[in-house]
Amino acid sequence: METLIVATLVGLLVVALLFYFFKRPTAAVSKKQKRDASQALSPGVPPMPTFLEQKVLTQMRGDRARLDSALRAAQQKYPRASRGDLLNIVYEESIQGNE
């Protein structure tokens, strides 16, 4: 009789542990977590550039160092501007510089 009780308890414990380890998470994933997960596909690979960034890179003939330098300069000029605004500013300046 005691072995039957012990076997039942062990079986319930195993089922509970299996359920605990193999259940799907139910918490909602925030947009930031989704974005971080999509950008962290490979640690050595840079994230995909946004449309604006690709547009500016095309204008600068793919020179990423030049783009980063221009973004830093624009950020010093306009410290409260968003990245999209900074990219627009850099794009407009690069168009004016190429004319």
Looking at the predicted structure, is the pLDDT value of residue 95 above 70? yes
CA–CA gap between residue 21 and residue 24 (Å, rounded):
9
Contact 56, 66 (CB under 8 A): no
Quick one: pLDDT band at residue 20, thresholds 50, 70, 90?
confident
Is the confidence at residue 89, as pLDDT, over 70? yes
Instruction: Output 15 or 74, whichever has higher pLDDT.
Output: 74
Q: Averaged over 4-22, what is the pLDDT?
A: 81
- The pLDDT of residue 33 is 56
Q: Tell me the per-residue pLDDT of 26-85, one tens digit each, with 9 for 90 and over.
A: 555 555 555 555 555 555 555 666 788 888 888 888 888 988 999 999 999 999 988 888
Which of the two residues, 18 and 27, has the higher pLDDT score? 18
Q: What's the chain's length in residues? A: 99
Which residues have C-beta within 8 Å of that of residue 64, sequence separation ≥ 6?
57
State residue 15 phi and psi, 5-degree precision: -65, -40
CA distances from 88 to 4, 13, 29 (A): 74, 60, 31
Contacts of 70 (CB under 8 A, 6+ apart): 60, 90, 93, 94
pTM more than 0.75:
no
